[in-house]
Amino acid sequence: MSIVDRFKSRIQGIKSVVFTTHVIPDADGIGSEIALCMALRKLGIKAVCVNDEPLPQRYRYMDPDQVIFGVDEFEAQVFGEIDLWVVVDTNTVDRVCPALHQLIKKTNNVLFVDHHPAPHVKDLHSHCIDTTAAATGQLAGEIIQGLGLTFDAKLALPLYTAIIIDTSSFRYPSVTAKTHHLVGDLLATGIAPGVAYNGIYGAKKIEHMHLLGTILSTTMCTPSGEIAWIHLSKNLIKRFDSDVEDTHAFINHLLILDNIKVACMFRDDGDSIKVSFRSNGAWDVGLLARKFGGGGHSHSAATVIVKNENENVDLLIRQTVDKMTEYLSEIKC
Ligand SMILES: [Mn+2]
């Protein structure tokens, strides 16, 4: 059964759907849930999105109909019976806002729409998971077309944004002709690429620029130049009055280095360090992240390293880079 047919069969006879995505939602999760939610509304299904927090100001351009609610604003009793939960851009309820777990359990009917590897999903055949999709937004767009709906600008802008963010503006090997064909259909609605691009990468405060400059000026790399990394701390983000979620794209700047194979960003969150990996396509950072207990795509992956109190973070980073060099030589052979 195709993914579109699977989606159709899962919404068959369904009257009400609530969408959600992973905690600290990114533009792929947000764009995908908005577009799918509005598509189901067009089909006469009652639909809404509920996230761990209200939609940040900078993403509001994607949601003119205000279909997204923060969990604290959502009144389940007013919405009424929920027939189906659709979880986008992740394939485990563990990554969904804990405050929603009880409601999800009560409905006992979950559909994942995702493009991440899903080793823990037992009934894969009943979900819409396509690990070859460049973004969940691409998958969501294909599903919407498969439902027989035509894109309009309101559907197209969140999907286009989702695809831009997850491909870091079409630079990863996950981008295929299929991605661009879909993007062609999205742009044909008349949306302006600049609106999506500036929505995500523009509209920054001067402090953001100063933080980026500070971080990039401390970029380190291995002698071969194949691994480069930056180190971001929560204190620094606070000092520059910036937002953690808004620092995700910092790592992409490293991918323009000559010889680069893997870019890393170490974000010190206090009791743990989030390590993000990006690859220009030569090496599979999904495999690398799994070696460190994390996961993700071949071009974009992450893990979390638990940090002890008073731990020397610079030393920890050095040790991690050494381990990476070791792992990568194994992966290469
Ligand atoms: Mn995604």
Q: What is the mean pLDDT of residues 50-64?
A: 93
Comparison of pLDDT for 314 and 244, the residue scoring more:
314
Q: Which residues surround ligand 1, an ion (CB under 5 A)?
A: 28, 89, 136, 166
pLDDT tens digits along 256-296: 999 999 999 999 988 899 999 999 888 899 999 999 999 88
What's residue 310's pLDDT? 83
Distance 39 CA to ligand 1 centre (A): 19
What is the reported pLDDT for 94? 93
* 207-332: CATH, from 3.10.310.30, 3.40.630.30, 1.10.3720.10, 3.40.50.300: 3.10.310.30
- Whether 332 has a pLDDT exceeding 70, the answer reads no
Query: Is residue 333 predicted with pLDDT exceeding 70?
Result: no
pLDDT for residue 76: 85
Neighbours of 178 (CB within 10 A): 13
Å from CA of 305 to ligand 1 middle: 22
**Ligand 1 centre distance from Cα of residue 310 (Å):** 34
Q: How far apart are the first and last CA of the chain?
A: 37
Indicate the class that CATH gives domain 3-201.
alpha beta
- Give me ligand 1 centre to Cα 118, in Å: 13
Q: How far is the CA of 203 from the centre of ligand 1 (A)?
A: 22
Mean pLDDT value across residues 122-138: 95
161 Cα: distance to centroid of ligand 1 (angstroms): 11
Q: Does residue 327 register a pLDDT over 90?
A: no
CA of 135 to the centre of ligand 1 (A): 5
pLDDT digits (tens, 9 = 90+) for 20-34: 999 989 999 999 999
**How much distance in Å is there from the Cα of 172 to the middle of ligand 1?**
13
Per residue in 146-168, pLDDT tens? 999 999 999 999 999 999 999 98
For the chain, the structural domain boundaries read 3-201, 207-332
- Of 42, 201, 22, which Cα lies nearest the Cα of 98? 22
